[in-house]
Amino acid sequence: MSRIRTSRIPLRTTLVLVLAALTVSTAPAQAAPTVEEARLDRAVPREILTRSGFDAVAPDFAAALKDAGSYAAAERAVRRHGAGLWQRTVDRVQGRGPARGDLARDDDRPLYWARLAMTRELRTWEPDFALSPQARARLVERLETSSRGQDAIRFPAGRGVKRVLMTGFDPFTLDRDVRISNPSGAAALALDGTLIRTADGALARVETAVFPVRWADFAEGEVERTLRPHLPRVDAFTTVSQGRVGRFDVERFNGAWRGGFGDNENVSETGLVPVADPATQPQWTTTSLPYARIAAADTGRFPVYDNTSVTEVPAGGTAPVVRPGGPTPGSAARAGGGGDYLSNEIAYRATLLRDRLGLADLPGGHVHTPVLQFGAGNTGAAEDPEFLRNRADITAQVRNVIAVAASAG
């Protein structure tokens, strides 16, 4: 073993070396991408970003973060770029400004993949100032909120125009097919800020927001935070998601149960829907949409059903039972009409919030769209004529369903 001759090293140099070693050993490790963000490296997401002109969104955001010399400056950059992404996507879908690429304008996927590219930049950003994990998480939350339209819901003052709030979802099941689009998200982008003529001849302003397909965000109250300020002021609300092949469904009953299907982070959750004040939590909530009128109206080429089926554990029972006509007294929920995934959960949360706010007469509930399908034989292309036709027709029919939902009784 050799001897270390420290006497020849100046004290100042020794201190510098020690401090440098401590700095290296205590520096935070660079954050790994989330499961969702890791999918960005696949070919189709890159193609969607390039063909929509959204491939520069994340680099521009990264440059703004690099210039931020404080938390306050970073927060301003996050809000500006997040809100800008939402508005840019809405404008693209609604035909304002240049298309910036050959991808169909009504596509919801550029918003999804560009947001993930931005959150990946934010998670791995190394600022020149101290940034705690909690502070970084707040910035990520602000980026999520602003880029989903959740903090941009603005209804006109006065009584001349009805107010309708509609929500959609991100694409999901992307490990099965990374090309997937979500027609509810596409409809939300197409309808945000628009005026529609309701079935009774009135004008209605539609405001929209998009939600993630992640159990944790719902457990943290994202739905309630977004909807609570607006439900007392609207004339109707509709949560919308992708459901069954070839049909729309107005889901009559919503259940307080998570069925365990993996979310976009591949996380599974099973058990009661976690809500505030669980002691007063009902097993079931009910739509207040005019389901009979919606199902009977000529809203588009897809049939619309009033879906009353649920899965329950009957009072005194132990095994789940399917009830085509709705839940029986005292039963425990295992699936609402909209299933036991986040479609059912957003419907449950929104209608429970309606009830807790004392808005029993407010029309509101969940609508499932048809599954958005590619054409037969298309196993790799990001879009095809059938896919585009289906998405356009579903969006048009969502608009017509809302027109009926917002009409007077």
The pLDDT tens digits of the residues spanning 348-368 come to 999 999 999 999 999 999 999
* pLDDT of amino acid 15: 37
More confident residue, 190 or 17: 190
Q: What is the mean pLDDT of residues 265-271?
A: 98
Alpha helix locations (H) across 241-359?
A: 291-296, 342-356
Q: How buried is 41 (Cβ within 10 angstroms: 0-12 exposed, 13-18 middle, 19+ buried)?
A: exposed
pLDDT tens for each residue of 48-78: 999 999 999 999 999 999 999 999 999 999 9
Measured CA to CA, the distance from residue 378 to residue 109 in angstroms comes to 18
The 10s digit of each residue's pLDDT in 94-126 is 999 988 899 999 999 999 999 999 999 999 999
pLDDT tens-digit series, residues 210-263: 999 999 999 999 999 999 999 999 999 999 999 999 999 999 999 999 999 999
Question: Quick one: which H or E segment has residue 77?
Answer: helix 71-93
Q: Which of 201, 174, 189, 228 is nearest to 349 (CA)?
A: 228
Judge contact between 251 and 365, C-beta under 8 A.
yes
> Under a CB-based contact definition with an 8 Å cutoff, are residues 404 and 295 in contact?
no
What percentage of the chain has pLDDT greater than the value 70?
92
Q: Is the pLDDT of residue 2 over 80?
A: no
C-alpha span between 15 and 29 (Å, rounded)? 24
Q: How far apart are CA 143 and CA 138, in angstroms?
A: 9
Alpha carbons 347 and 227: distance in angstroms, whole number: 12
Mean pLDDT of 204-208: 97
Residue 105's φ and ψ, nearest 5 degrees, are -65, -30
Burial bucket for residue 10 (CB in 10 Å: 0-12, 13-18, 19+): exposed
Cα–Cα distance, 241 to 169 (Å, whole number): 6
Q: What is the DSSP string of 172-191?
A: --TTT-TT---HHHHHHHHH
Q: Which of 99, 63, 218, 90 is nearest to 146 (CA)?
A: 90
Strand order in the sheet with 248-251: 194-197, 203-211, 162-169, 236-242, 364-369, 248-251, 304-307
Residue 91's CB is within 10 A of a number of other CB atoms, namely 15
Q: Partners of 99 in the beta sheet?
A: none
Cα 221 to Cα 275: distance, rounded to the nearest angstrom: 8
CB atoms within 10 A of CB 59: 12
∠ Cα 330 332 336 (to 5°): 115
Please list, in sequence order, all residues whose beta carbon lies within 8 angstroms of the beta carbon of residue 326, skipping any fewer than 6 positions away.
252, 253, 308, 309, 310
Q: What is the pLDDT of residues 141-159, one digit of tens each?
A: 999 999 999 999 999 887 8
The pLDDT > 90 percentage for the chain reads: 89
pLDDT attached to residue 409: 60
Instruction: Judge contact between 371 and 245, C-beta under 8 A.
Output: yes
Per-residue pLDDT at 30: 54
Residue 43 to residue 300: CA distance in whole angstroms = 35
Output the pLDDT for position 10: 41
Q: In the chain, how long is the greatest CA-to-CA distance?
A: 93
| Distance set, CA 304 to CA 41, 294, 300, 369 (Å) | 38, 7, 9, 9
Q: pLDDT band for 44, please (50, 70, 90 cuts).
A: very high
pLDDT, the chain, mean:
93
